[in-house]
Amino acid sequence: MSIWGIYSCFYDLSLRNLFPYRQLLDDLTRALEVKGGERILDAGCGPGAVIERVIKENRGKTISVVGVDFSRGMIGRARKRCMKLPDVRLQVADLNRKLEFPDNSFDKVVCSNVLYALENPEKVLSEFYRVLKPGAAVVIANPKPNAGERELVREHLRTLRRLSPFHRRAYHMIVSILLIPVNLVVTTINKIILTRARNREYHFLDKGSLSRILQEVRFRNISISSCYADQCWLVRAEKWESGQDGEDRVSDS
């Protein structure tokens, strides 16, 4: 079983209570700028938290979402979570291979904390580019080179201290304490991930490299900002509209 199979048993329980992760879901959803009628691909959907948030935040708009992940454990959890949500399709697929979707078939692609674990990020981004419709956008979260857990925990505790009234804060403190055993497993898996990143097996990319790769794939209107307690980059970039010309614009925020 891969680390993702093991992670699927603990990931959701640990992260759904982590305040920076909730903020990340908000940031991704906002960056997607979903409109009615859109078809969205969640590449590496894990247990489906992004899909759930995007659909709930866009109630009243008819959107359809396809979630893919190569871990059967993750897809199983996503299926349970999204059972009652309209128009969600979940399937097992390896992002290191060519996507089975036709060219120009999605209005948005979201890929949260997955790109780093793939063999060749540039090849995968080219696949995202291929399946996006002209003018459509990709939204990515990917760890910064020095990303770690410490700042996530600090930010979680800072938010916890700001919570009021008292019983809400007490509830979250108790949940945080009860989750210590789960978080120990998650911390161990994160150590494996960090070791792989240090060994360059995983791709924790700096801003310049991310920007360069996106430009090489021909994305335009690239914006890269910080998210997830400053541990990740939040990227939004668009596919060229047919017939467009001019300079690519890269913006810092």
Ligand X SMILES: C[S@@+](CC[C@H](N)C(=O)[O-])C[C@H]1O[C@@H](n2cnc3c(N)ncnc32)[C@H](O)[C@@H]1O
Give 143 or 214: the residue with its C-beta nearer to ligand X: 143
Backbone φ and ψ of 90, nearest 5°: -120, 135
Residue 74 DSSP class: H
User: Which of 34, 88, 99, 114: binder of ligand X (CB under 6 A)?
Assistant: 114
Using CB under 6 A, which residues numbered 22 to 81 contact ligand X? Answer: 44-46, 49-50, 69-71, 74
Give 74 or 220: the residue with its C-beta nearer to ligand X: 74
State the minimum distance, in angstroms, from the CB of residue 227 to ligand X: 11
Strand-pairing partners, residue 206, are none
Which range in 106-114, 125-133, 143-151, 207-215 contacts ligand X by CB under 6 A? 106-114
Give 69 or 220: the residue with its C-beta nearer to ligand X: 69
Q: What is the DSSP string of 89-158?
A: EEEE--TTS--SSPTT-EEEEEEES-GGGSS-HHHHHHHHHHHEEEEEEEEEEEE-TT--SHHHHHHHHH
Neighbours of 108 (CB within 10 A): 24
Q: Write the interaction track for ligand X spanning residues 118-157; mark x where CB under 6 A is met and - where it is not.
A: x---------------------------------------
Residue 78 DSSP class: H
Which range in 33-41, 91-99, 142-150, 170-178 contacts ligand X by CB under 6 A? 91-99
Give 50 or 131: the residue with its C-beta nearer to ligand X: 50
Neighbours of 157 (CB within 10 A): 13
Q: In angstroms, rounded to a whole number, what is the distance separating the alpha carbons of residues 184 and 76?
A: 23
Sites of contact with ligand X (CB under 6 A)? 4, 44-46, 49-50, 69-71, 74, 94-96, 112-114, 117-118
